[in-house]
Every structure is written in C-alpha cells, then in structure tokens.
Amino acid sequence: MIIIFLVLMFITVHRIASFQIRPLKCKPGYRVSSISRAMINGISSYDVECKPFSDNPERIKDITCSDGTVPICNGTLGGCDQHPDSWIGGVKVVPYEEDSSVEMLSLIPYCCNASNVLVHGDTCRHSRLSSLGRLLTLATKPDEIMQGLSCQVTRNHNGRIYDVTLKVRSCRFEIEQECCNKYMFGYFLHNFWNKEKTA
C-alpha cells in the first residue's frame, strides 16, 4: 500500500501568516520512500510517498519515533542522526523565513527506529532536488531508507532567493531475523555473562 502526502513547501511571494505546523507521518512499519516536486495552483510543493519495509509491515518490531534535527538551509545535513539505525518515517512542515519579503516552508524529519531494522551507515549515498532543475523526484531503492535531510538556498546578485535545493541522504537497510536481532543477541550475552559469574 502506498500513501502519498501532499506537502506544500518552497517559496511563495506572499506571507502565510495563518500557516499551521502540520505533521505528516507514515504508518508504523512504513518509511518515506520518495519526495517529488509538484505545482499546485501555481505554488511549488512536494509529494511525500510512504512505503512499507516488507509485505507485512507488522514484522517491524518495537518502533519508537521522535522529531529529528531541524534542518538549516546552509547545506548542513540534519535529520535522523541521533540513532544509527533510524529512518525518516514522516515529516513536519514548518515555516522557514529567509528574509522579510519571502517565506518558504521547511521539512523537519520524523525519525523512527525499531529493534529489528538495521541501517548500514557505510552504504549511504546523497542526492539533491533543485527547484530549478529537471529532476522531479528523489526516490530510494527498495532496500534503502531516507535518513538525512537538508536544504541549500541560492541567491542572485541582488540577494534575492532564486533556487532552493533539497538534499537527502539514503542508506541501505535490512530486517533482522526474529531469532537473532541485535537486541536479542545482546540480551543473550548479558544473561550468559551473569550466569558465568554466579557459577
């Protein structure tokens, strides 16, 4: 099952004083699999797509989620860096002001981790989506999750914003077997060590 969220983002020439923060979360056992550019009523926007980790999302155990690092539009990578096996399981849309004449919206990642999802941090790749480029979608491969998120603002010689680039870090993941995930293995070693000490 594919869930598509419409996320209004990017630059508008009018201030949106009444804008409310909107959390857009994937279902448990799902991950953000792609972010696409779109135009809705003349306003730049994003489509965020969620896909399950497997044919049975209930295989993903002990899921916990929290807000990730707030991205700063200077190219610095933020996102889900507080847990090595975390992934972006949704976004929160918030206003991000660059100057008094322009207001745009920013994405704060919603970070999740689970006891049987392992993220391979040494396999990550980076991709970008420019508001002026031809590329319309940043998508993960079937065995990847999105983990990092940042943006970069480009100005013209007058100091006006003319391009916003979204940057995404994607990494490979695997679902560990029920018998031997990292938490159960640690629990086994803990009990074995205590048994040896009391023997």
Inform me whether the pLDDT recorded for 73 exceeds 90: no
Residue among 149, 152, 106, 136 at smallest CA distance from 9:
106
Rounded mean pLDDT, 108-137: 87
Q: How many other C-beta atoms are found inside a 10 Å radius of the C-beta of residue 190?
A: 10
C-alpha–C-alpha distance, residues 46 and 189, integer Å: 46
Radius of gyration of the chain (CA): 19
Q: How confident is the model at residue 179 (pLDDT cuts 50, 70, 90)?
A: low
Whole-number percent of the chain with pLDDT over 70: 66
Indicate the pTM of the whole model: 0.73
pLDDT digits (tens, 9 = 90+) for 127-151: 988 777 677 788 999 999 999 888 8
Q: Per residue in 152-167, is it b (16+ CB within 10 Å) or e — as a string?
A: bbeeeeeeebeebbbb
Token reading at 61 = 């155990």
